Amino acid sequence: MDVNINLIAQGLLERGWQLSTCESCSGGWIAKRLTDVAGSSAWFAGALVTYSNALKQHLAGVSARTLAEHGAVSEAVAQAMATGCARATQTQACVAVTGIAGPGGGSAAKPVGMVCFGWHLSDRDVLLDTQYFHGDREQVRRQTVDHALTVLADLLQHGTLLGETCRKTPR
């Protein structure tokens, strides 16, 4: 899937917003895709790559209790990453992802390919979603990036999700 980053840029610029990302399993790939566009410094503030639980806590403000109760790969952690990163970077929009890209690390409850997403936009509740992707490590990560950006583009362009079902949760 080829997400049109210019649609994201347009939506952010129209609002006068800055975007940040808080990435775990994608390892900064979302930020890379965003900054592949010339002029992205007008709307992209930066990224936190919080691969370890320690950095999820230290940089994104995820509580040890949330990590202990829900695990690093959970919607609760994705939500905390999105809101904490937006706060830390002083941005109005943030995309957060945490998941299991594989090939190992999965379990029956949280299989390889499970990825949790959080989209923090300052004019709405945080949206959360969990997807179960298939394929090798690179394919899971690519699908993660595509989904994160596709939903963000839909939210910024249409104010709603087109063809997606994500849950809203209060901030």
Q: What is the pTM of this model?
A: 0.93
Two structure tokens written together for 127: 């949206």
DSSP run (H or E) holding 119: strand 114-121
How many whole angstroms separate alpha carbon 111 and alpha carbon 156? 31
What pLDDT score was predicted for residue 31? 98
Which of 119, 165, 112, 164 is closest to 139 using CA atoms? 112
Contact 26, 144 (CB under 8 A): yes
137-151 pLDDT, tens digit per residue, is 999 999 999 999 999
114-169 pLDDT, tens digit per residue, is 999 999 999 888 999 999 999 999 999 999 999 999 999 999 998 765 444 455 44
66-113 pLDDT, tens digit per residue, is 999 999 999 999 999 999 999 999 999 999 999 999 999 999 999 999
Two structure tokens written together for 162: 């087109």
Q: Which amino acid is at 54?
A: A
CATH class of 5-169: alpha beta
